[in-house]
Structure 1
Amino acid sequence: MSKEILINNNGFETRVALIDGGLTTEFWLERKKQSSIVGNIYKGRVQKVLPGLQAAFIDVGLEKSAFIHVSDFAEIERDVDKSQDVISSLLHEGQMLVVQVYKDQIGTKGARVTTQVSIPSRYLVMMPNAPELLAISSRIDDEEERARLQEDMKSINESNDEFGLIARTNAELIPQDLLEHDWKFLKRLWKKVAERIANQKTPSLIYSEFSLAKRVVRDHINENLTQITVDSHDIHLKVKKFVDDFAFEWQGQVNWYQGSRPLFDQFNAEDEIERILSKKVPLKSGGNLVFDQNEAMTTVDVNTGQFVGYKSLEDTAFKTNLEAAQVIARQLRLRNIGGIIVIDFIDMADDLHKEQVHKTLEEYLSQDTARTNVLGFTALNLMEITRKRTTENIRDVVCEPCNKCHGSGYIQTIESNTFKLFREISRSVKQFKASKIMVIAAPNLVEYIIDEHSETLADMEESLNKRISLQAEDSYGRDQYDVVLL
């Protein structure tokens, strides 16, 4: 099935959507002040060793110290007794340590780091601390293809003792010359990284992961991807150069979108993204899903709603659950929900029906790039899933606890409302003629724009060639505004 990537950038945030068969299946959001640091490599200093936890805090130059556990060390063998004080034999306060972030700071917790440094390219992953390693992604299950990749990587990396290699899932059926092209890129990159490790002070950033747009393109560009559409001229040029350098054989197109309608509106992705924040997700059959995200886990309740079926209660439950399994798999990706997920499917008496729902869920989750594990139905007929998440879910990025309901619900942050307002201004100007624009909004929203985004507002006035004025209205709530065209 053909896929497309949409990249929307407006100077203050980058939004990327993956469209698969006409449906938005994944969504990423990155703001300048909240960009992910997963994949970044730092030259850090051990700040404090905690023998009781078998862990340590590492100063890497960020606001909060990074956290490393003994199991995150490349030198630790799997059979080492981690109940012993191993961490003290590995680290001491003030020691220099090169680490890589594998989990962003989430909430009050600092970033999680590891000494097992790895840098991915399009088809390969470089492993500097394991020069003898030649491994294949477990998702490549054809034995002949695994053997072929093993031989190709051995041939490519034979004279190199600086890093080992892992073949990514994308490497399946890829010829040796393209794998070698990737390898040469990684070798050049590692030379630069090694020089920085040797010469830069502590603490400092040694290597920064690609921007969001480049990361998504790198990880999803294949023969099924037909086009990449970007609405920013600057990012369009950067993505096009990136594709020409690292995916020169790709037959798709990188398009610069210049339409009057916003990019996500044009491809019907905006409404789908807005629904990410909703607890209730409708099903085509008339049923619905209810997502309840808590700190410890996420629960999903499946309801028949208006769907009454055609034959029996068992038939109704089975058909609703089958549809729900597909939608849940997509929603987990869209919302970037991680941790423990418990699904309360509608009760089914037939074991064959349960097995089919289980297999359907596994099939659709297999398309997820995050590591997932379906544990099956419990004795209470609940389905348990675990999904690894390395960055904050979408709700936590764009929302904050509501002070009016004491944390029991969520509202969009004032920053999110500001960016939503800016998008509405751009949309209105493109659709209707006007000489100037007046924004009537809640006082706190007007104050926030003046204090934090006056420069952005000035840039918008210049790019739209329209004067934009702000007027505070005391009767408006914090998320209320009107765009008036004059």
Structure 2
Amino acid sequence: MSEEILINVTPPETRVALIENGSVQELMIERSRRRGLVGNIYKGLASRVLPGMQAAFIDIGLERAAFLHASDIISSNGDNPGQSIDEQLREGQGIIVQVVKDPLGTKGARLTTNLSIPSRYLVYMPSLKSAGVSQRILNEEERQRLRDLLNRPEGERIAQNGGFIARTAAEGATEEALSSDIEYLSRLWQSVQERIASAQPPSLIHEDLPLALRALRDLIGPQVEKVRIDSRSTWSRLNAFAEQFMPEMAEKIEYYPGERPIFDLYGVEDEIQKALERKVELKSGGHLVIDQTEAMTTIDVNTGAFVGHRNLEETIFKTNLEAAQSICRQLRLRNLGGIIIIDFIDMEDEEHKRQVLRALEKCLSHDHARTHVSEVSSLGLVQMTRKRTRESLGHVLCVPCSCCGGKGSMKSVQTTCYEIFRELLRESRQFEMEQLLVLASQEVIDCLLDEESDHLAELEQFIGKPIKLQAEPLYSQEQFDIVPV
């Protein structure tokens, strides 16, 4: 698998696209006015402690208080004894926390006291008592080699009161590269401790790298052929970062000077627009329908125009196999997280069900986010979860519709007309007036004067008062006002 990383930089926004075999697989967007908070370490202040929820709200200097659950509080000796929240924290107490989830919708940031600071190959964790190795490294010999390197000699390789975890990128890394990372993380943790000692809550102690550098640290690997950046200043920063922390990758970093925007060149802009749509077309003629709600994301698979060549079961099987691959790409592309329910087309053959589920799991193995897939439920639904740390692409780029308020539908013109009739009748009985003025959108006024004119005349005769109509160009189809005159 060949990969390329594209980085588009403008003063208000940085965008990163991961291209696999010529297809856009992941998109990350960070805006200068609204940078992500995941990885940031704060000295916070407990503003509310709620034993009934076993949680606390922590003031870390943001607009909304952040959320800390009792299970995310690690004691000084590095474990979680399962104590009640009011036994571990009191209101007004200062506490060192790290953001693990950005604020999402109306929810504040999610916090933990189990701090972790990543580098290229390692993650330093003050609460860790021994070295660890990423579960994605499957080769047992390599896992043992990394453990030996991190534990030998123990006094030099394990920082005081903490330990290191080898990341997936550490597979095959030399002893010198790991030693360099250990030294860097030890120095960084020392500076963090010094800021913790002097800072007053609420205050920011440590901020994670900006998106361009974070992408270089987390995404680049042996399979990445090129990293292309369209900003010369960012290219210089990435080069300096690579020469210090990953010299073997420095030659892969290129400055893109072309006049044509780099995202246009690779078709990324078109993919962004498609990723905001509800419907996803499949090559076979089938399609997916993706609906994102606050509680979960649902994905419905349909055969659409695909009629197959053999029989119905074979048609369904092929559509579901193609859908499994497309779903994995859409989850990464749209950065969908939390609970995800997939409604594959019903299959009778148990072997077909197993193959579709295996295809889904195989595709998800390339995902950088942690995922878990359950078995097919009794209703034929596949339930899965995907770790959510940052807002989805739709939430970053879009806001709820000003007309429908994010519902995705509006009351029909006829519905609004009948609501107006009921309100006219109500107001005529409540107030003394000579006539009533109806303010509504042009579409509603046209309907009242045309299709509903007979009903309007009957109502006018029934209440015994004239009704005047006035179109308001700024009103939506649902809005109206009745003004007694």
Structure-2-length-normalised TM-score: 0.81
Give the partner amino acid of 2:125: M
In 2: Cα distance, 1:113 partner to 1:65 partner: 10
Q: Post-superposition shift, 1:94? A: 2.0
In 2: Cα distance, 1:79 partner to 1:200 partner: 26
In 2: Cα distance, 1:289 partner to 1:244 partner: 44
Alignment of 1:267-278 (within 5 A): 267-278=266-277
Deviations 1:57-94 (A, max 9, x none): 21211222111111001129888456xxx212211222
Alignment of 1:208-227 (within 5 A): 208-227=207-226
Residue 38, structure 1, aligned to residue 38, structure 2: yes
In 1: Cα distance, 2:253 partner to 2:259 partner: 19
> What is aligned with 2:114?
116
In 2: Cα distance, 1:251 partner to 1:315 partner: 49
- Secondary structure, aligned partner of 1:180: helix
Q: Do the aligned partners of residues 258 and 81 (structure 1) sit closer, same or farther apart at CA in structure 2, a change above 3 Å counting?
A: closer
Q: Post-superposition shift, 1:141? A: 2.1
Q: Post-superposition shift, 1:110? A: 1.3
> What is aligned with 2:344?
345
* Aligned Cα root-mean-square deviation (Å): 2.0
> What is aligned with 2:373?
374
> What is aligned with 1:8?
8
Note the residue ranges of structure 1 that are not aligned, 5 or more in a row: 411-474, 478-486
> What is aligned with 2:25?
25
> What is aligned with 2:239?
240
Contact between 1:321 and 1:345, CA under 8 Å: does it hold in 2?
yes
Contact between 2:78 and 2:127, CA under 8 Å: does it hold in 1?
no
Alignment of 1:312-461 (within 5 A): 312-409=311-408
> What is aligned with 2:137?
140
- Secondary structure, aligned partner of 1:33: coil
Q: Do the aligned partners of residues 259 and 151 (structure 1) sit closer, same or farther apart at CA in structure 2, a change above 3 Å counting?
A: same
User: Which entry has the higher C-alpha Rg, 1 or 2?
Assistant: 2
> What is aligned with 1:420?
none
Residue 127, structure 1, aligned to residue 149, structure 2: no
Note the residue ranges of structure 2 that are not aligned, 5 or more in a row: 410-472, 476-485
In 1: Cα distance, 2:251 partner to 2:4 partner: 10
In 2: Cα distance, 1:373 partner to 1:272 partner: 26
> What is aligned with 1:100?
98
- Secondary structure, aligned partner of 2:155: coil
Q: Do the aligned partners of residues 79 and 221 (structure 1) sit closer, same or farther apart at CA in structure 2, a change above 3 Å counting?
A: closer
- Secondary structure, aligned partner of 1:360: helix
Give the partner amino acid of 2:85: I
Give the partner amino acid of 1:8: N
Give the partner amino acid of 1:68: L
In 2: Cα distance, 1:220 partner to 1:369 partner: 9
Point out the more displaced range, 211-220 or 159-168: 159-168
In 1: Cα distance, 2:78 partner to 2:41 partner: 22
Contact between 2:320 and 2:344, CA under 8 Å: does it hold in 1?
yes
Alignment length, in residue pairs?
A: 410
Contact between 1:226 and 1:252, CA under 8 Å: does it hold in 2?
no
Q: Post-superposition shift, 1:476? A: 12
Q: Post-superposition shift, 1:407? A: 2.0
Q: Post-superposition shift, 1:217? A: 1.1
Q: Identity of aligned pairs, percent?
A: 51
> What is aligned with 2:51?
51
> What is aligned with 2:306?
307
Structure-1-length-normalised TM-score: 0.81
In 2: Cα distance, 1:398 partner to 1:157 partner: 48
Contact between 2:8 and 2:231, CA under 8 Å: does it hold in 1?
yes
Give the partner amino acid of 2:60: V
Q: Post-superposition shift, 1:175? A: 2.1
